[in-house]
Amino acid sequence: MNKKTLKLLLKLLLTGVAIYLVFRKIDMDATWQVIKKANFGYLTIAALCFVLSKALSSLRLNCLFRNLTVRLSERQNLKLYWIGMFYNLFLPGGIGGDGYKVYWLNKRFEAKVKKLLAAVLLDRVSGLAALVWLLLVIWFFVKVEWTAPWGIDLDIVAGIGLAIVPLVFAGVVRWWFPTFRRATAVTSGYSLLVQSAQLICAYFILLALGVHEQVLEYQFVFLLSSIVAVLPLTIGGVGARELVFIFSHEYMGIDKNIAVAFSLLFFLITAVVSLAGATVKMEETQEAAGNK
């Protein structure tokens, strides 16, 4: 058995265990009733906000590509990004989309694979930094029933984190991604817009489920679950997000059935939008080198 097959089997196992634990912790009938009563209009707005977040993500990535003199039009870049979304979600490896982008750009522009991989990796790191920073901002507006050990003041920790995250990100770019230093400010701005659009998406999913209280608590856990979903532990983050919502229920006072319904609807929106990437084709034309 090769290493890739072993990793896939391990991911499948962890995904199965996570889903099993989720189903054990919730009332499936109650969760299904919550989903059945969801407002379709609000879900449509949530889906549009999610699409906006992905369009902004594609602009961020293209900003990094341009630092490599890869002149990809925004239209072609968006198409390439959507194909990547489809591969990332529906291919078991979880990195199929990134691999396809690098392969296509290397073939089309003869750009160095190492630098293309660096651009894709920095794109993810930039998004993660913005996600953590917004999580720390929301911390000051939510109530968490958890006492830190050794009398640590979590508000102070969060405040320090707000200052440190941008500095750490700038340091990471300077030392490991020096080619992209000029794009740091722009990509950071895009990252904040991306995560803000996803928070708005989350807000409308909550409205669709009839949630009008503790909205920030749900959004806080949503960001926390997004960090966990970044880790390549389960297929497409399935099960991992839901587990975060369930375990957060004890500390945030949120309804675990609504929380899981929220997570499932967000995954459904992600899947439907990503599925559109299966219909997209990249043309081998000079348009790719334009600046449209």
At 243-291, the pLDDT tens digits run: 888 888 888 989 989 999 999 999 899 999 999 998 888 865 444 444 4
Task: Please name the residues in contact with 257: beta carbons below 8 A apart, sequence gap of 6 or more.
Answer: 26, 27, 30, 31, 34
Counting the structural domains of the chain, the total is 1
Report the Cα 129 to chain-centroid distance in Å: 12
CA distance 130 to 133: 5
Residue with tokens 């296509």: 104
CB 135 within 8 A of CB 220: yes
Q: pLDDT, tens digit, for every residue of 120-169? A: 999 999 999 999 999 999 999 998 888 788 889 999 999 999 999 999 99
User: Could you tell me the pLDDT band of residue 210, with boundaries at 50, 70 and 90?
Assistant: very high
CA-angle at 76, arms to 110 and 100, nearest 5°:
55
Cβ-based neighbour number of residue 152 at 10 Å? 10
Token reading at 160: 């320090």
Residue 26 within any structural domain of the chain: no
The four Cα atoms 92, 88, 168, 63 give a dihedral, to 10 degrees, of 160
Residue 11 within any structural domain of the chain: no
Q: What is the pTM of this model?
A: 0.89
DSSP3 helix / strand / coil % (the chain, rounded to 5): 80, 0, 20
CB 190 within 8 A of CB 122: no
Length of the chain: 292
Residue 17 within any structural domain of the chain: no
Residue 139 within any structural domain of the chain: yes
Residue with tokens 């600046």: 291
Task: Please name the residues in contact with 180: beta carbons below 8 A apart, sequence gap of 6 or more.
Answer: 64, 67, 118, 119, 122, 173, 187
Is it the case that residue 116 has pLDDT exceeding 50?
Answer: yes
CA distance 239 to 51: 23
Domain containing 78: what range?
Answer: 46-280
- Answer with the residue of higher pLDDT: 71 or 192: 192
Residue 291 within any structural domain of the chain: no
User: Could you tell me the pLDDT band of residue 20, with boundaries at 50, 70 and 90?
Assistant: low
CA distance 50 to 65: 23
**38-64 average pLDDT score:** 98
Cβ-based neighbour number of residue 280 at 10 Å? 15
Residue 193 within any structural domain of the chain: yes
How confident is the model at residue 292, as a pLDDT?
41
Residue 36 within any structural domain of the chain: no
Residue 94 within any structural domain of the chain: yes
CA distance 234 to 11: 5
Is it the case that residue 24 has pLDDT exceeding 80?
Answer: no
Is it the case that residue 22 has pLDDT exceeding 90?
Answer: no
Q: pLDDT, tens digit, for every residue of 52-80? A: 999 999 999 999 999 998 989 999 999 99
- In the three-class reduction of DSSP (H, G, I as helix; E, B as strand; rest coil), residue 219 is classed as helix
